[in-house]
Amino acid sequence: MKPVRVLAAALAVGAGAILLLVPVRHHVVVESSATNPVRHLRIESRSLVGLRRPGWGVAVTGAPVWGNAREGFFLRAEQPVQAMVTAWPGFRQSLSMDASPAITLALSEEGDRQAFRTWFVALLEQQVEAPSPAWEPAQRDCAGLLRFAFREALATHTAAWRERVAFTSGAPAQDPSPGFVRDWRAGFPTPDGPQPFAKGAYLRRFACEFLGRDLQLAKPGDLIFFARGGAHAQPDHAMAFVRPDVDGAPMLLYHTGPEGSGVRTQPGEVRRARLDDLLHHPDPDFRPLPENAAFLGLYRWRLLVNGPSDLSSAPRS
């Protein structure tokens, strides 16, 4: 019977340890800023012995959030929301939150919107021949290409700028009015506030508006995003519409991202693709078709959206 008693004692000790670790007090912390459209919801939990730890079985319903119990949940709400936070055992707390603060008004004049589009596309197309020395090598991937062209399209395109960026073509358009892009010059919205660096998922969620999956709505400068899932989920992949081909067919441009691994890693390159060819891509994950779950849809930069009429009625992805 001795082994039975030892086992029972071990089980009792284990059960006691678990009871001491079980969170019995929960507290919801909402971190927000007037200049950041993203809110951070953290659930602080304490056990019987005062140990702080992520809550067990934490969930947030009633609001479009992402994240997890360990990192916290993130939220950007276009309208006021009523969220419910639950955790084990038996914790429930209702949260009423106003709409997230907006970052920047869109460019209000059609001339400014067209100027941004033209400069953005011209900068994208310049990278096909040779990457600009102003585009940091460490940021040469699909999202980095978009960030670079976006930022430089909003710059004041002086002679000094041309030398820094190595932009040798003639001015494709006037400069967008600087007064309407001040907030965007501060960086892209992220969960940590405006940042010069934002990964593709943050560009899609916070800097763009969802237009739907009808690519006939696309204009030069609009974007499409893909999310490749599976056992080894990969980051968002993005492509940008640029000027049509000589026959008028829609064209897209993208960076492949680094290719290979280890000592064989290659930096990748900027490529063009006809939309017709992309629709028949050998990898079905990269076909921008409505039935492709990896295709997240067509997006437009927020500073180009001048009101609800510019958007489709489809929900945000």
- Please give the pLDDT value at position 263: 63
Amino acid at 170: G
| Residue 80, pLDDT score | 84
Cβ atoms 174, 133 nearer than 8 A: no
Contact 152, 134 (CB under 8 A): yes
Whether the pLDDT of residue 108 is over 80: the answer is no
Check residue 290 and give left, alpha or beta (phi > 0: left; psi -120 to 50: alpha).
alpha
- The 10 Å CB-count burial string (b at 16+, else e) for 143-152 is bbbbbbbbbb
Mean pLDDT of the chain: 81
Domains and CATH numbers, the chain: 24-97 (2.60.40), 110-310 (no CATH)
Mean pLDDT check: name the lowest of 12-26, 53-67, 115-129, 241-255. 12-26
Rounded average pLDDT over 34-51: 74
Residues 201, 210 contacting (CB under 8 angstroms): no
Q: Would you say the pTM of this structure is higher than 0.85?
A: no
CA–CA dist 104, 101 (Å, integer): 9
Average pLDDT of the residues in 4-8:
53
CB-based contacts of 85: which residues, under 8 Å, 6+ apart? 28, 41, 43, 58, 59, 60, 91, 92, 93, 94, 95
| Cβ-contact 269, 201 below 8 angstroms | no
Q: Where are the beta strands (DSSP E) in the chain?
A: 23-33, 36-47, 52-54, 56-61, 65-68, 72-75, 81-88, 91-97, 208-212, 223-226, 237-241, 251-255, 270-274, 295-301
> pLDDT tens digit string along 276-301?
999 999 989 889 999 999 999 999 99
Question: Residue 77 has which token pair?
Answer: 């709400």
Q: Which of 13 and 32 is assigned the larger pLDDT?
A: 32
